[in-house]
């Protein structure tokens, strides 16, 4: 029987335990460049079996929030090299979450103030985070997007390939394809945001075409054993909705089973919210989703996420329902979360006022267990 604290090999990556730090946007990388403060933050949390970085834009067009990091300039890549070096120095493993936000952006964040792009010209009922002229941060409505022209899509697929190669070259152990939470790939997948009438719209296999073109180029470029993918079948984040999520995501995982990926990362329920959130007429069957994946030969590690506490995580791994469990907010306030979970120790409470933007306060100054004692 496996334990949450046992080592595991996922694809080409060997982990010291099965506790994963989920991707957490913190808005502390001005000009999209990771810095020494970011390096300290990840190094502090490197006792996790795997660190997944905050979502990281593959291009300027893919940027949707102020002061989030990128993978598309020499300065950003050098910044990430400092992060990967810091994590590896203390024996950690880290992958970068590759992000194109699609319509979840604002003209002030786009190249030359242009419109965000999307599968279809449908504005999301959502907000993004901007930095004001006085340096304070605030949330603003997303801008009206334009529909991608058919001839533009291949260029974005190529952007994913380039970003994956760059990530490996600066020391990441792998990459996670962000196909969740209402961002570009997810926008293509869902019928509410994809009204295209060409080869990328209509039936499920067409709506999933963009996702699998991205998976194809990345796995060929860096090897499937260094690639994970994140999906969120029923989350309402960023105005994401589909009336038939079970059919949609069963198709997605069955086709993902063809690739010897490192892991499949599932957000259960509403991201950061209710685990039993429902879209469509029936509750989502997560066990059925995994069964569909394994039935056609899928062998990647299964990563569960959303609202897990210690007891639920321990039971989930021991029962074999998942191989890995990702924790989000608990890692913000507890850099030594793995130790606390193992010992059953109390957790620091996170300061929500410091989640987005700022400096070291609420970022790298949470006390370790021995400091609290």
- Is 65 annotated as catalytic? no
Q: Taking a C-beta distance cutoff of 8 angstroms, is the pair 334, 366 a contact?
A: yes
Neighbouring residues of 188: CB distance < 8 A, sequence distance ≥ 6: 119, 194, 200, 207, 208, 209, 210, 211
DSSP annotation of 348 = P
- Beta-ladder partners of 10: 13
Q: Angle CA(92)–CA(97)–CA(102) in degrees, nearest 5?
A: 170
Selected catalytic residue, list 41, 65, 129, 183: 183
d(CA 166, CA 264): 22
User: 339: helix, coil or strand?
Assistant: helix
> Which residue is associated with the tokens 């300290």?
40
Supply 317's token pair. 């791994």
d(CA 156, CA 200): 14
d(CA 51, CA 332): 12
What single string gives the DSSP state of each residue in 98-163?
Answer: EE--TTS--GGGSGGGPPPEESSS---S-EEEEE-TTS-EEEEEPPPPEEPPHHHHHHHHHHHHHH
Candidates 327, 266, 338; CA nearest to 300 is: 266
Supply 198's token pair. 């060409």
Neighbouring residues of 368: CB distance < 8 A, sequence distance ≥ 6: 335, 336
Candidates 199, 214, 276, 169; CA nearest to 62 is: 214
User: 290: helix, coil or strand?
Assistant: helix
Give the helix/strand (H/E) hosting 222: helix 209-222
d(CA 269, CA 255): 22
Catalytic machinery residues: 183
């Amino acid at each position: 029987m496996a334990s949450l604290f046992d080592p595991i090999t996922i694809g080409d990556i060997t982990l010291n335990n099965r506790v994963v730090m989920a991707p957490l946007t913190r808005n502390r990388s001005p000009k999209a460049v990771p810095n020494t403060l970011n390096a300290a933050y990840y190094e502090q949390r490197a006792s996790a079996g795997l660190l997944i970085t905050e979502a990281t834009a593959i291009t300027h067009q893919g940027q949707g929030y102020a002061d989030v990091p990128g993978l598309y300039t020499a300065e950003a890549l050098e910044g990430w090299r400092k992060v990967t070096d810091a994590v590896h120095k203390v024996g950690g493993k880290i992958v970068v979450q590759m992000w194109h936000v699609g319509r979840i952006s604002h003209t002030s964040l786009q190249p030359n103030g242009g419109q965000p792009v999307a599968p279809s010209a449908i504005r999301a009922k959502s907000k993004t985070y901007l930095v004001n002229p006085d340096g304070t941060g605030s949330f603003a409505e997303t801008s009206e997007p334009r529909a991608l022209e058919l001839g533009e899509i291949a260029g974005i697929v190529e952007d994913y390939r380039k970003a994956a190669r760059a990530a490996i070259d600066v020391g990441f152990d792998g990459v996670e394809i962000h196909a969740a939470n209402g961002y570009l790939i997810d926008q293509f997948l869902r019928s509410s945001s994809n009204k295209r009438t060409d080869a990328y719209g209509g039936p499920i296999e067409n709506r999933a075409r963009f996702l699998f073109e991205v998976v194809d180029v990345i796995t060929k470029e860096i090897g499937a054993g260094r690639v994970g993918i994140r999906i969120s079948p029923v989350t309402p984040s960023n105005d994401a909705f589909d009336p038939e999520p079970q059919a949609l995501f069963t198709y997605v995982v069955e086709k993902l089973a063809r690739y010897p990926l490192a892991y499949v990362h599932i957000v259960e329920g509403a991201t950061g919210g209710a685990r039993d959130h429902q879209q469509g007429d029936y509750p989502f069957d997560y066990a059925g989703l995994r069964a569909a994946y394994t039935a056609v030969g899928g062998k990647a590690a299964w990563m569960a996420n959303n609202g897990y506490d210690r007891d639920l995580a321990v039971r989930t791994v021991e029962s074999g329902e998942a191989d890995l469990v990702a924790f989000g907010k608990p890692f913000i306030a507890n850099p030594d979360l793995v130790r606390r979970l193992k010992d059953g120790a109390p957790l620091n409470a996170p300061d929500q006022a410091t989640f987005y933007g700022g400096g070291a306060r609420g970022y790298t100054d949470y006390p370790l267990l021995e400091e609290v004692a």
